[in-house]
Amino acid sequence: ESEGKVAMFDRGFLIAGGVYEVSAVINGKLVDYAAHMERLGRSLSELRMGWPCTRAELDTMHHELIRRNDLKEGIIYMQVTRGAADRAFNFPKGETKPTLIAFTQVMNLVNNPNAVTGVKVITTPDLRWSRRDIKTVMLLAPVLGKQAAYEQGAQEGWMVENGHVTEGTSSNAYIVKDGKVITRHLSNEILAGCTRRALMRLAKEEGVEIVERPFTPEEAYAADEAFLTSASQFVMPIVEIDGKRIGGGQPGPVVRKLRELYLKEAGA
């Protein structure tokens, strides 16, 4: 950590010109890794950035990070930027060498105590740009939303645009009503979560109906259950939104079942 260096002129540093992925590790094994690499490829190509190395080399890097850090449970963060060049808004003339960095973080993912109690969420305006489908390191709007949540005693902010929830500041958002799971459809307005994708498949296999459409905060207040998904939270129950208790303030049966299914699939 102390020896890694990034150039002062790196476009990731100067203009947030970079993309990233966060992959979970359980029992020393990567979770949903193929989906994360697929999304990385898409983020890079949407920004017309090159791969920093081959996919096989990235795979080796991930496995080496787990081995050298003896990581049993936690996450691998990786980031690719367009590289260093004289500062300009337009792309640098000629090829720049992409910058690749990655590190591990130990986390208690499976037995996260929040999953037992459920977490609190507040709503906050969605201040982001219109290409939220690209996983860029340009995270100031989500940072302000997450900070607002923390300052109000909540763990996540659900961002609201035109009266509807888009997603969490670092997670996808779901409510459950009459046994049906409701979550916003994929578009440029939200990030296509890898956990979301895996969960949708598992839910379908289990016969849980999923409706993909936007929902309002008012609909969420009146929901039977609510939850969020992300690589570092998996499937996380929500028990309060804007100070209003959801489902009696306890994680409900649908979210508990979905978390169990996801953990089983992930090798917990």
Least distance from ligand PDD to the Cβ atom of residue 22, Å: 4
DSSP state at residue 136: B
The angle that helices 55-68 and 33-46 make with each other, rounded to 10 degrees, is 130
Question: Which pair of structure tokens corresponds to residue 70?
Answer: 């003896």
DSSP state at residue 129: -
Least distance from ligand PDD to the Cβ atom of residue 193, Å: 3
Q: How far apart are CA 71 and CA 66, in angstroms?
A: 5
Scanning 21-139, the segments in alpha helix (DSSP H) are 33-46, 55-68, 114-117
Q: How far is CA 151 from CA 79, 108, 122, 146, 154, in A?
A: 28, 23, 10, 9, 7
Q: Between 246 and 266, whose beta carbon lies closer to ligand PDD?
A: 266
3 state SS of 68: helix
Q: In the complex, which residues of this chain contact ligand PDD (CB under 6 A)?
A: 22, 167, 170-172, 191, 193-196, 229-232
Q: Of residues 29, 93, 120, 135, which has the active-site annotation? A: 135
Q: Between 7 and 100, whose beta carbon lies closer to ligand PDD?
A: 100
Amino acid present at 256: R
Q: Between 194 and 241, whose beta carbon lies closer to ligand PDD?
A: 194
Q: How far apart are CA 250 and CA 137, in angstroms?
A: 34
264 is catalytic: no
172 within 8 A of 195, measured Cβ to Cβ: yes
Least distance from ligand PDD to the Cβ atom of residue 30, Å: 13
Least distance from ligand PDD to the Cβ atom of residue 178, Å: 25
């993912």: which residue's tokens? Answer: 109
Q: Between 84 and 235, whose beta carbon lies closer to ligand PDD?
A: 235
Least distance from ligand PDD to the Cβ atom of residue 200, Å: 11
Distance of alpha carbon 89 from its chain centroid, rounded?
Answer: 27
Q: Between 7 and 137, whose beta carbon lies closer to ligand PDD?
A: 137
Catalytic residues: 135
